[in-house]
Amino acid sequence: MRVVIQRVSEASVTIEGNINGQISQGLLVLAGFTNSDTQEDLTWTAKKIAQLRIFSDDEDKMNLSVQDVNGGILLISQFTLYALTKKGNRPSYINAAPPTVAIPLYEQFHQLLEKELGKPIPTGIFGADMKVALVNDGPVTITMDSQNRE
């Protein structure tokens, strides 16, 4: 599983002209899945995101988590995180899980992330044409791959 985490002062996702989800201070999480992802990958990533200390404390040091600042999380599915770009100019997505595998993984991950954060997490709609808007705070952008956790 791969994620891109952006610390935001606000973020939203619009689908067919309607806002489907939005947050103020918190994290925008783009999540991609592959065929080899397991429950362990989902659990590890959800815990890591909820506890990641990337918000500033009173001394302007990144010591606080999204939980500590009572922030939100906006979760968006993003199969393109598994793009292969070695050959040619058209990315291959062969390593991205097909929808029959990715949708259940995405739904499980969403539930785990809500459990870790302790509140509802708005999302986009898997496979929809989404317009994601954000104000990256910092900017702070972090990538994580559950296959590289050691």
Number of helices and strands (H, E) in the chain?
2, 7
Q: How far apart are CA 12 and CA 14, in angstroms?
A: 7
* Residues labelled catalytic: 78-80
Expressed in angstroms, the distance from the first to the final Cα of the chain is 14
Which spans in the chain are helix H? Answer: 39-51, 99-117
